[in-house]
């Protein structure tokens, strides 16, 4: 290792030792964004936990459970990256959350969906599932498909807006309220859509879960679909 690289590596270690986001919670707008994302994230965790523990039989198992848990993880990782100012990676992880969610959601209907390598084909196959041919499920699926395409622009760096131009690690942590708000909107919309679709698919199970978690989940699904999920429409 050359002396220049050694010196730079020592600076990296020092940067890691000094790394801190402790000052970020002092910003009210930052806290508000984080709080809104956390509410949706908590509700997503609560719903998966409840569905996983439904007895006679357990609703989620095997690959379905694994993919849905991975989607939960993707949402959490996206929040973590956004907190630190890694906005492009945060959007890429949100893109992954759609893929993992949809695979987990339909794998009991399409057992080989996890082996499909072509994403466009995955969406085409899922679109044919009878669940997604009826209203409002079709609209929810179409919205996820559209958001996936939007987030894919980051992968292909379609526009200058998809670039972050980070050339040094000491760029982090950083804060852009404009970027954070955009990611927050996408994060919350996706999480609400995931919750809504799960409550439609497992409606009977949803009505049997613990009342505290049920209310938390209900508060965080897409508002326009709450009456239908509560079977009062």
Half-sphere exposure of 49 (CA within 13 A, CB side): 11
Q: What is the pLDDT of residues 200-220, one digit of tens each?
A: 999 999 999 999 999 999 999
List CB contacts of 79: < 8 A, sequence separation 6 or more. Answer: 34, 37, 38, 41, 90, 187
CA gap 144, 96 in Å, rounded: 12
Predicted pLDDT of residue 162: 43
Between the alpha carbon of residue 177 and those of residues 26, 99, 151, 219, the distances in Å are 13, 27, 19, 25
Residue 145 to residues 44, 83, 100: CA-CA distances in angstroms? 20, 26, 13
Confidence at residue 12, expressed as pLDDT on a 0 to 100 scale: 80
pLDDT at residue 158 in the model: 47
Spans of the chain below 50 pLDDT: 158-167
Helices then strands, each counted (H, E), the chain:
10, 0
Q: Which of the 8 DSSP states describes residue 61? A: -
Q: Burial-class residue 68 by CB neighbours within 10 Å (0-12, 13-18, 19+).
A: buried
Query: Which two tokens mark 31?
Result: 């806290």
Each residue's pLDDT tens digit, 63-80: 999 999 999 999 999 999
As a whole number of angstroms, the distance between CA 18 and CA 32 comes to: 26
Task: Classify each residue of 198-220 as buried b or exposed e, where b means 16 or more C-beta atoms within 10 Å of its C-beta.
Answer: bbbbbeebbeebeeebbebbbeb
């Amino acid at each position: 290792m050359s002396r220049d690289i050694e010196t730079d590596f020592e600076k990296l270690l020092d940067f890691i030792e000094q790394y801190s986001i402790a000052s970020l919670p002092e910003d009210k707008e930052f806290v508000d964004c984080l709080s809104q994302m956390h509410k949706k994230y908590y509700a997503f965790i609560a719903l998966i936990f409840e569905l996983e523990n439904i007895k006679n039989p357990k609703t989620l198992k095997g690959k379905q459970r694994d993919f849905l848990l991975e989607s939960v993880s993707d949402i959490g990782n996206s929040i973590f990256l956004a907190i630190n100012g890694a906005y492009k990676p945060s959007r890429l992880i949100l893109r992954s959350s759609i893929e993992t969610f949809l695979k987990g959601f339909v794998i009991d209907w399409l057992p080989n969906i996890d082996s499909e390598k072509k994403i466009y084909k995955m969406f085409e196959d899922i679109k044919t599932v009878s669940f997604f041919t009826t209203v409002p499920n079709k609209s929810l699926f179409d919205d996820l498909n559209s958001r996936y395409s939007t987030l894919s622009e980051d992968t292909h760096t379609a526009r200058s807006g998809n670039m972050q131009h980070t050339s040094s690690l000491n760029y982090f942590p950083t804060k852009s309220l404009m970027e954070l708000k955009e990611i927050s909107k996408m994060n919350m919309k996706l999480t609400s859509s995931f919750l809504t679709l799960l409550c439609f698919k497992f409606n009977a199970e949803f009505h049997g879960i613990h009342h505290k978690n049920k209310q938390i989940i209900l508060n965080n699904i897409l508002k326009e679909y709450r009456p239908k999920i509560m079977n009062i429409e």
